[in-house]
Amino acid sequence: MGVFPAIGDEFEEVVFFHDPQSGLKAIVAIHSTMLGPALGGTRFYPYRSEGEALTDVLRLARGMTFKAAAAGLDLGGGKAVILGDPRRDRTEELIRAYGRFIDTLGGRYITAEDVGTTGEDMDLVRRETRYVTGVSPAMGGGGDPSPVTAYGVYQGLIACAEEAWKDSSLQGRRIAVQGVGKVGYHVVKHLVEAGASVVVSDVDVDSVARAVREFGVDTADPDKIHAEECDVFAPCALGGIIRDDTIPSLKCRVVAGSANNQLERPEHGEALQELGILYAPDYVINAGGLINVADEIRGYDRERALARVREIYRTLRAVFKVAGEEGISTASAADRFAEERMRKVSRLRLYWVPGRSQYGTRSSF
Ligand code: NAD
């Protein structure tokens, strides 16, 4: 049976954990530790099959390598999945068994919350291992990363405005925000404060009502928000919104938002480029949450985390520059930017320095 071909030769390590008593079945994929320990969240999801879970964890782990590298972090990429329905299968015993397994990896993989897991789960994991971030402030964590992610998106939007209009101000710009959940809500807040004219949509009517009540924004039909006449379309809901059937109806100059995997397929990045639409690569502009949890490794400091999140502005400017110089899409330019950093920084590790940890600085772990 060809297990290695199924995993692919890009991955350093894939670990399967099984604890029959608690019902835990989990997979941890470590894509790369070239820049540092692999950090990525734990997804708790009722996959239809183990094969589907493996495919998902591999895809997500690879994405984390690029995200951390582009964000300027000394971290690698990894991800974990717990197979099951969190509403039915989540118990203290299962989560702690999971934490105990994570501990056996000795810090090569550091976990965090993701779809289906919560900050409370991370607090339970913390009781079994140090190798977890996204714990509650009471346990030394940074709390909900969503406002920080939104702050990063806002910084990224300023970089987009400069690139598109040679003017960093968002005053008077029409911005269509799809999804006003944990991140989208705070994105709208920043935009309204900056004087933008905002239109929102959400499938959840209460979330829309709150945005209207608190910020006086306009609303659009969830099925049509991407086709809104606007300067910026900001996807802050689910992935895959930029695809064959939505691209022809876009009427914006910029696509920039928090959603993960906004492009249904990589070639949709080129499709936006051909239409003259500036795309802020999702993993660059939405890295604020990762930067925030990564800060916990050194002992969480909000101001330091926010300062690092402000760097998203400069990273995006650099990505746009690479795209312009090479004549490639901004999505491809982001990959190239991340790969270049991995290549350059990892090369320095070839020098042996007495008394120095492999990763340059010592973490609190
Ligand atoms: P959330 O679940 O709090 O918010 C998503 C919102 O989108 C919800 O209000 C939901 O009702 C709405 N929605 C779903 N389908 C929709 C549709 N078709 N049209 C309009 N609205 C729709 O999630 P979140 O934490 O705000 O994350 C939003 C996106 O940002 C996700 O793609 C997530 O992966 C990504 N992201 C989040 C963070 C973070 O710190 N939370 C970090 C990086 C990336």
Quote the CA–CA distance of 217 and 301 in Å, as a whole number: 33
Tell whether 341 is covered by a domain.
no
Quote the CA–CA distance of 15 and 105 in Å, as a whole number: 9
Tell whether 340 is covered by a domain.
no
Quick check: 315 and 333 in contact, CB under 8 A?
A: no
Dist. CA 147 → ligand 1 center (Å): 12
CB count within 10 Å of CB 121 equals 27
Dist. CA 71 → ligand 1 center (Å): 21
Any ligand 1 atom below 6 A from CB of 150:
no
Q: Which pLDDT score, from 0 to 100, does residue 360 have? A: 55
* Residue 311 sits in the same domain as residue 191: yes
* Cα 173–Cα 179–Cα 182 angle in degrees, nearest 5: 105
Q: Counting atoms of ligand 1 from 1, which one is nearest the CA of 261?
A: 32
- For ligand 1, atom 1, name the residue with the nearest CA: 181
Tell whether 357 is covered by a domain.
no
Dist. CA 150 → ligand 1 center (Å): 11
Quote the CA–CA distance of 333 and 343 in Å, as a whole number: 15
* Residue 195 sits in the same domain as residue 324: yes
Any ligand 1 atom below 6 A from CB of 236:
yes
Q: Which pLDDT score, from 0 to 100, does residue 143 have? A: 87
* Residue 172 sits in the same domain as residue 57: no
* Residue 132 sits in the same domain as residue 202: no
Tell whether 353 is covered by a domain.
no
* Residue 154 sits in the same domain as residue 301: yes
Quick check: 295 and 73 in contact, CB under 8 A?
A: no
Any ligand 1 atom below 6 A from CB of 260:
yes
Q: Which pLDDT score, from 0 to 100, does residue 84 have? A: 98
* Residue 59 sits in the same domain as residue 196: no
Q: Which of 116, 139, 162 is the last residue of a domain?
A: 139
Mutate to test the pocket of ligand 1, among 67, 144, 258 (most ligand atoms within 8 A of CB): 258
Using a cut of 0.85, tell me whether the model's pTM lies above it.
Answer: yes
Q: Which pLDDT score, from 0 to 100, does residue 6 have? A: 81
Any ligand 1 atom below 6 A from CB of 114:
no
Give me the CATH number covering residue 209: 3.40.50.720
Tell whether 335 is covered by a domain.
no
Q: Counting atoms of ligand 1 from 1, which one is nearest the CA of 207?
A: 9
Q: Which residues contact 176 (CB under 8 A, 6 or more apart)?
A: 198, 199, 200, 201, 220, 225, 226, 228, 230, 232, 233, 234, 252
Any ligand 1 atom below 6 A from CB of 145:
yes
* Residue 58 sits in the same domain as residue 157: no
Q: Counting atoms of ligand 1 from 1, which one is nearest the CA of 222?
A: 19
Quick check: 125 and 99 in contact, CB under 8 A?
A: yes
Quote the CA–CA distance of 200 and 125 in Å, as a whole number: 36
Range 91-94, long-range pairs (CB < 8 A, 24+ positions): 91/22, 91/23, 92/124, 93/21, 93/22, 94/19, 94/22, 94/23, 94/24
- For ligand 1, atom 25, name the residue with the nearest CA: 182
Q: Which of 139, 168, 188 is the last residue of a domain?
A: 139
Q: Which pLDDT score, from 0 to 100, does residue 357 have? A: 62
Any ligand 1 atom below 6 A from CB of 262:
no
How many domains is the chain partitioned into structurally? 2
Q: Counting atoms of ligand 1 from 1, which one is nearest the CA of 282?
A: 44
- For ligand 1, atom 33, name the residue with the nearest CA: 259
Q: Counting atoms of ligand 1 from 1, which one is nearest the CA of 241?
A: 18
Tell whether 322 is covered by a domain.
yes
Any ligand 1 atom below 6 A from CB of 184:
yes
Any ligand 1 atom below 6 A from CB of 149:
yes
Tell whether 313 is covered by a domain.
yes
Locus of tokens 């772990």? 365
Dist. CA 185 → ligand 1 center (Å): 10
Nearest CA among 283, 275, 276, 274 for reference residue 256: 283
Quote the CA–CA distance of 22 and 320 in Å, as a whole number: 48
Give Dmax over CA atoms of the chain in angstroms.
Answer: 61
Q: What is the pLDDT along the chain (365 residues), one digit of tens a residue?
A: 688 888 888 999 999 999 999 999 999 999 999 999 999 999 999 999 999 999 999 999 999 999 999 999 999 999 999 999 999 999 999 999 999 999 999 999 999 999 999 999 999 999 999 999 999 999 999 988 999 999 999 999 999 999 999 999 999 999 999 999 999 999 999 999 999 999 999 999 999 999 999 999 999 999 999 999 999 999 999 889 999 999 999 999 999 999 999 999 999 999 999 999 999 999 999 999 999 999 999 999 999 999 999 999 999 999 999 999 999 999 999 999 999 999 999 898 888 888 776 555 555 55
* Residue 217 sits in the same domain as residue 131: no
Give me the CATH number covering residue 84: 3.40.50.10860
Dist. CA 101 → ligand 1 center (Å): 30
Q: Which residues contact 27 (CB under 8 A, 6 or more apart)?
A: 14, 15, 16, 17, 53, 54, 57, 80, 81, 83
* Residue 105 sits in the same domain as residue 150: no
CB count within 10 Å of CB 290 equals 26
Q: Which of 139, 165, 193 is the last residue of a domain?
A: 139
Q: Which two tokens stand for residue 211?
A: 């945005």
Q: Which pLDDT score, from 0 to 100, does residue 7 have? A: 87
Q: Which pLDDT score, from 0 to 100, does residue 3 have? A: 85
Q: Counting atoms of ligand 1 from 1, which one is nearest the CA of 257?
A: 30
Tell whether 270 is covered by a domain.
yes
Quick check: 58 and 29 in contact, CB under 8 A?
A: yes
Which is catalytic among the residues 79, 166, 189, 344? 79
Locus of tokens 């994570």? 102
* Residue 344 is a catalytic residue: no
Dist. CA 202 → ligand 1 center (Å): 9
* Residue 86 sits in the same domain as residue 112: yes
* Residue 153 sits in the same domain as residue 66: no
Residue-range definition of the domain harbouring residue 41: 3-139
* Residue 115 sits in the same domain as residue 42: yes
Dist. CA 336 → ligand 1 center (Å): 27
